[in-house]
């Protein structure tokens, strides 16, 4: 498994982003239960997508123990693609009515990425399967980072707009 260092780096970054969720909660003076639905969605994106990236960064290792390399990547990508398709579609279906258009676009691209993962798992060669797996992980890492940046920016904007007592 030639990509193991890269995969472990992605897992570490994903876990770091998930850990920063505590910073996000700490920066916001409003309790989590009283957050705006869009802020709750972005928080969920941050935590859940980072957890997905961390989990799927580690999934290929036990599969490689049982199967030879090409088949292991194919199985891992198929499992990842199916999970990704289910996950992103439930996200999109549960978007609040006032969801910003950028979130809708990211959801649409996520559906395309998931579809590509499944198709390439069935039709791709060894190199493209591994590359697609790694690109899927990077996609999840970027989406989680987007959730982090969006929340920090929104909370800073809200704190500047509210007058000090």
Assigned domain for 163 exists: no
- pLDDT at residue 161 in the model: 54
Assigned domain for 164 exists: no
Assigned domain for 165 exists: no
Phi-psi region at 7: left, alpha or beta (left = phi > 0; alpha = psi -120 to 50): alpha
Assigned domain for 150 exists: yes
Structural domain range at position 139: 4-157
CA–CA separation, 73 and 67 (whole Å): 9
Assigned domain for 100 exists: yes
Of 71, 69, 80, 74, whose CA–CA distance to 122 is shortest?
74
- pLDDT at residue 75 in the model: 96
Specify which of 11-25, 34-48, 75-89 reaches the highest per-range mean pLDDT.
Answer: 75-89
CA–CA separation, 140 and 136 (whole Å): 6
pLDDT digits (tens, 9 = 90+) for 118-158: 999 999 998 999 999 999 999 999 998 888 888 877 765 56
pLDDT digits (tens, 9 = 90+) for 45-94: 888 889 999 999 999 999 999 999 999 999 999 999 999 999 998 888 87
Assigned domain for 162 exists: no
Q: Please give the tally of structural domains in the chain.
A: 1
Assigned domain for 9 exists: yes
Assigned domain for 107 exists: yes
This prediction's pTM: 0.85
């Amino acid at each position: 498994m030639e990509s193991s260092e890269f995969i472990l780096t992605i897992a570490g970054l994903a876990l770091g982003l998930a850990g920063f969720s505590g910073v996000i909660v700490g920066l916001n003076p409003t309790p989590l239960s009283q957050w705006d639905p869009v802020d709750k969605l972005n928080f969920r994106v941050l935590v859940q997508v980072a957890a997905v990236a961390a989990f799927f960064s580690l999934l290929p290792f036990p599969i490689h123990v049982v199967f030879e390399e090409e088949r292991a990547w194919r199985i891992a990508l198929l499992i990842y693609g199916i999970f990704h398709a289910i996950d992103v579609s439930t996200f999109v279906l549960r978007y609040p009515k006032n969801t910003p258009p950028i979130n809708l676009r990211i959801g649409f691209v996520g559906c395309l990425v998931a579809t590509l993962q499944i198709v390439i798992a069935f039709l791709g060669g060894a190199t493209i399967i591994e590359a697609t797996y790694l690109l899927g992980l990077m996609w999840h890492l970027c989406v989680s980072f987007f959730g982090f940046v969006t929340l920090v920016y929104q909370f800073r904007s809200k704190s500047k707009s509210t007058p000090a007592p």
